[in-house]
A and B are shown apart, each in its own frame.
Chain A
Amino acid sequence: MFFNDIHIRIRFVLLVVIIILILVIGKVFYIQVFSYNKLAKITEDLWSRKMTINAPRGDIVDRNGEILATSIVTTTIYVVPNQIKDKEKVSKDIAEILNCDYEDVYKYVSKKSSMEIIRKGMDLNSETADKIEKLGYDGVYLVVDSKRYYPYGEALSHIIGFVGSDNQGLSGLELTYDEYLKGTNGELKYYSDGKGNKLEIPDSYVAPSKGMTLELTLDIEIIKAVDNELKNAMDKYDSEHALSIVMNPKTGEILAMGSKPSFDPANYQNFSEEVINRNLPIWMTYEPGSTFKIITLASSIEEKTVDLFKDHFTDTGAINVDGSTIHCWKHGGHGNQTYLEVVENSCNPGFVSLGQKLGVNKLMSYIKKFGFGDKTGIDLNGEGNGILFKEEKMGPVELATTAFGQGISVTPIQQVAAVGAAINGGYLNTPYVVKSIIDDNSKSIVFANKQQVKRQVISPETSATVRFALESVVSNGSGKNAYIENYRVGGKTGTAQKVSDGKYMVGNYILSFIGFLPANDPEAIVYVAVDNPKGVTQYGGTVSAPIARNIMLSLIETLKIKEASGGMLKEYSYLDVRYYQLPDVVGMSKSEATKALKEFKVKYSGSGDKVVYMSPAPNTFQSVETTITLLLN
């Protein structure tokens, strides 16, 4: 009986114990099943040390694959202080190789943390990294990193932009296309014990994958020529700004774009925000001046309000519009001219009359159709809008000044796009610089840009007439300084007075030239503007046309533009060096050849009497100063 009571209580205790143990097992089950994911993640982080391996940024290349921005491999030293036994010796040796103070290394090596980056040990070249590696110290890790490198520096800084210290895009295309360029970071993970010592568990390595390649429409050879010319324009004329755009008018692809002052992308910190942020060719807005006359011209031809060849205009040097007198740039005027001559001479009263024939509504509708007043939509940041007169507030004076490019404000890129439409058969293209985005890992094209036609503004016939008129401007008119022998060049000069606080500034002009070649089938359009050049006649023809000509010379070489016959001959003034077409003298006798080449200097090579070869090639235009070499047999 008494035992019975004890036995009952013993069994009761057994029950309690079983319950306790079930609770324990239940709790273990709960931890392992329900908290598994959370704990597994925490412990993974606890047990492992991660070193991020930065992905190299994708390259930026030009239309021919030439590298414009790339990532060069550098190495960064990571230290795991716990794994370093002789901290003094390690610090001393590393400091010696890095050529820095012992303290700069020791402070990281002696830190109580799981992992440290030695500041002075970042962006090491491979030579230095090799030396560190040879030391073979435990706890010293070398992790591959990358650093952005811009081989063409200032020439492209406004378009490409730059990256910050962590290789993140901060401006330009580097910023806009950061998502594509940055790639995916890799990671080196090793397992360590509670004291930071490395465990014999294999490291896990996730390789970084390089960012995508950005292919641009630019051509580095043209960029170099443009940059060179702009630098000269700044030095020679002590200008405020100089800028240029080269575009393929058929597609809207930008071949080159540049401006001064520019900045060095590797040391962007040393430049003012204004210089960095203002990409002048798309940001700057100013009165276009006479280059805008192309728009008035094209509109008039399209609307058939004028016949360039038959209609005449008499310029007395000034024209009265609603009580105001508008002067022509030429004192005394151009006298009686055909409208083609009005264009060649860039005669302001002549263009006022063209504007009056069109009327406010038509002129403004064409100006808008040509894209003025709106952003062109180019794939670069920081584009300006420009300012137009409000149509309902436009009186006769506003109409008159707008017709020759005053009183409105436009951006360079707007002008290039609009003139491109005027000469390419009438199609307004959206300009662009990014051609494609290529994923190097999968070898696939992620994005391919193509021509985007906004609208047709004028007919192909009108466009042909505009080309003819502009070619004659270069051959016979104000654009002579852009003439290139044996090539067909069209263009128009511009001289615009700058406005400050609502008033025209005295003696402060933006001199511009917009030209294209070949004039019969344009492959490139070149715009050049120089802001406030000093010590030179203030005409676009004298300052910007020669710059544009030099750029076009390099275009001929780069784009392999063929020599063309059938172009207009230049109308010579007394001062000009004359050019003649070189007759073909191959097969002639020495005396016959000499006679035929009487305009040129001739040099003979060989002792025979028959010409077997001549240089330069026959039928090209050569200046009288050119020496013609004849090979005799």
Chain B
Amino acid sequence: MIYSASFVWAQYKFNNPFHFVTMQGIFLLIGLILLYILSHIDYHLYYKYANIILFICAILLILVLIPGLGSVRNGSRSWFGIGPLGIQPSEFAKIGLIIYVAKYLTNNKKNMQSIIHGVFPILGVIGIFFLLIMLEPDFGTAMVITLTLVCLIFISGVQISFFLKVGLAGILGIVGIIIAAPYRVKRIVSFINPWSDPLGAGYQILQSLYAIGPGGLLGQGFFKSRQKYFYLPEPQTDFIFSIISEELGFLGVLIVTSLFLIIFYRGITISLKASDLFGKYLSFGLAFGLIIQASLNLMVVVGLIPVTGVTLPFLSYGGSSLLVSMASIGILLNISKNS
């Protein structure tokens, strides 16, 4: 799928239609190895080293902000460029944070009933990371992480009323962030009425609709997308789902969506069956991290929410994203084994 979506851009940018597919192949191979290794590492090890993992993540997130170390891609300083390979520390921070929060919730099982002693400290930690990622800035990843962790806290049994308050605060916060960066206002406007600026801010979403629309039940056929021919920018990343929809039609959409749901359902089953609390929290966090990212991406692509810049796990092009997704599955498999 990545090949089909990307070869036009690859040809254009790197004069090699297989560029993206080769790169992704390498990452997939690494990812599979990683998955295999992680499925054999006892997840209780993460419990032990959660603080160190989080610390490394924090360091990386700070280092990436330093010009010269971190490189700017698509307007965000969120990459460590190593030759053609790029590593996004924010993706790894996602797992690091899930592990840390899972551990925190396990340790503070009783305190969690207290907002001040239980919830606020961990929210503080999350807030710091949120800010670090927002400095890059990478709004999408920050959103995914925050939503994942908040949801994790939610299932740990914190009073519902608190979430209503936090939800309100969160909305206010998001509004604040949006107002702070004018390009986000544009995105919102373009979301509400993409036709208002079809060549500017509304361009992506419109082009995405143009791709989905003519798909029909069975699509234009694999490789037959037209939107990928420079109409939809970088179709192999955020908007790969439009190309899937264009080429494979409604059926393809159903299959892809179902696959994500199955993965999530499997993850939740693991969580429900996990023998200890840390395993429960960790497996839920990892599964939810994947599904919330997928959901956000899908909702953007079909025009349900404004463009946020979230990739589709497993399917979008992106080394770090794929590695982290594979790693999540590896850890989930291990938790499943140990239950």
CB neighbours (8 Å) of B210 from chain A are 39, 42-43, 46
Judged by a CB distance under 8 angstroms, whether A191 is at the interface is yes
Which single member of B212, B229, B257, B298 contacts A32 (CB below 8 Å)? Answer: B212
Binary interface encoding of chain B residues 221-239 relative to chain A, with 1 for a CB under 8 A from any of its CBs, else 0: 0000011011110000000
Q: Complex: how many Å from CA A195 to CA B11?
A: 14
B218, chain A: closest CB distance, angstroms: 11
Inter-subunit contact B213/A40 (CB<8 Å): yes
**CB pairs A–B below 8 angstroms (30 shown):** A5-B157, A13-B154, A13-B155, A13-B288, A17-B261, A17-B288, A18-B261, A21-B260, A21-B261, A24-B257, A24-B298, A25-B253, A25-B254, A25-B257, A29-B250, A32-B215, A32-B249, A36-B214, A39-B212, A42-B210, A43-B213, A43-B214, A43-B227, A46-B210, A47-B226, A191-B226, A193-B8, A194-B229, A195-B230, A201-B226
Judged by a CB distance under 8 angstroms, whether A23 is at the interface is yes
Given A24-B298, A194-B229; A6-B280 close (CB under 8 Å): yes
Q: In chain B, what residue has the closest Cβ to A193?
A: B229
CB neighbours (8 Å) of A17 from chain B are 261, 264, 288, 291-292, 295
Given A24-B302, A193-B231, 5 new contacts (CB under 8 A) = A3-B280, A9-B157, A10-B268, A32-B250, A36-B214
Inter-subunit contact A36/B216 (CB<8 Å): yes
Q: Complex: how many Å from CA A379 to CA B45?
A: 100
A507, chain B: closest CB distance, angstroms: 74
Which single member of B217, B230, B250 contacts A194 (CB below 8 Å)? Answer: B230
CB neighbours (8 Å) of B302 from chain A are 24, 27-28, 31
Judged by a CB distance under 8 angstroms, whether A2 is at the interface is yes
CB neighbours (8 Å) of B264 from chain A are 14, 17
Q: Complex: how many Å from CA A18 to CA B265?
A: 10
Binary interface encoding of chain B residues 93-109 relative to chain A, with 1 for a CB under 8 A from any of its CBs, else 0: 00000000000000001
Residues of chain B in range 246-304 having any CB-CB distance to chain A below 8 Å: 249-250, 253-254, 257, 260-261, 264-265, 268, 271-272, 280, 284, 288, 291-292, 295, 298-299, 302-304
Q: Complex: how many Å from CA A195 to CA B229?
A: 8
Judged by a CB distance under 8 angstroms, whether A119 is at the interface is no
Judged by a CB distance under 8 angstroms, whether B156 is at the interface is yes
Residues of chain A in range 6-59 having any CB-CB distance to chain B below 8 Å: 6-7, 9-11, 13-14, 17-18, 20-21, 23-25, 27-29, 31-32, 35-36, 38-40, 42-43, 46-47
Given A35-B213, A194-B230; A6-B260 close (CB under 8 Å): no
Given A18-B261, A28-B245, A193-B229; A2-B213 close (CB under 8 Å): no
Q: Complex: how many Å from CA A13 to CA B154?
A: 9
CB neighbours (8 Å) of B226 from chain A are 43, 47, 191, 193, 199, 201
B119, chain A: closest CB distance, angstroms: 15
Q: In chain B, what residue has the closest Cβ to A18?
A: B261
Judged by a CB distance under 8 angstroms, whether B209 is at the interface is yes
A interface residues with partner B (beta carbon < 8 Å):
2-3, 5-7, 9-11, 13-14, 17-18, 20-21, 23-25, 27-29, 31-32, 35-36, 38-40, 42-43, 46-47, 191-195, 197, 199, 201
Most buried by B among A20, A36, A38: A20
B interface residues with partner A (beta carbon < 8 Å):
8, 109, 151, 154-157, 209-210, 212-217, 226-227, 229-232, 245, 249-250, 253-254, 257, 260-261, 264-265, 268, 271-272, 280, 284, 288, 291-292, 295, 298-299, 302-304
Most buried by B among A3, A193, A197: A193
Interface SS of A by simple majority: helix
Interface SS of B by simple majority: helix
Q: In chain B, what residue has the closest Cβ to A27?
A: B302
Inter-subunit contact A24/B213 (CB<8 Å): no
Inter-subunit contact B272/A7 (CB<8 Å): yes
Q: Complex: how many Å from CA A193 to CA B227?
A: 8
Which single member of B157, B212, B299, B303 contacts A20 (CB below 8 Å)? Answer: B299
A113, chain B: closest CB distance, angstroms: 14
Q: Name the 8 nearest CB pairs between A and B, nearest first.
A: A39-B213, A194-B230, A193-B229, A9-B155, A194-B231, A27-B302, A24-B298, A193-B230
Q: Complex: how many Å from CA A10 to CA B254?
A: 24
Inter-subunit contact B155/A10 (CB<8 Å): yes
B155, chain A: closest CB distance, angstroms: 4
CB neighbours (8 Å) of A10 from chain B are 155, 268, 271-272, 284
Inter-subunit contact A6/B156 (CB<8 Å): yes
Q: Complex: how many Å from CA A199 to CA B109?
A: 61
CB neighbours (8 Å) of A31 from chain B are 209, 212-213, 302-303
CB neighbours (8 Å) of A21 from chain B are 257, 260-261, 295, 298
Most buried by B among A7, A25, A38: A25
Inter-subunit contact A6/B254 (CB<8 Å): no
Q: Complex: how many Å from CA A36 to CA B109?
A: 52
A403, chain B: closest CB distance, angstroms: 77
Inter-subunit contact B155/A6 (CB<8 Å): yes
CB neighbours (8 Å) of B268 from chain A are 10-11, 13-14
Given A14-B265, A23-B299; A2-B245 close (CB under 8 Å): no
A139, chain B: closest CB distance, angstroms: 16
CB neighbours (8 Å) of A7 from chain B are 272
Q: Complex: how many Å from CA A36 to CA B250?
A: 12
CB neighbours (8 Å) of A24 from chain B are 257, 295, 298-299, 302, 304
Q: In chain B, what residue has the closest Cβ to A42?
A: B210
Q: Complex: how many Å from CA A5 to CA B291?
A: 22
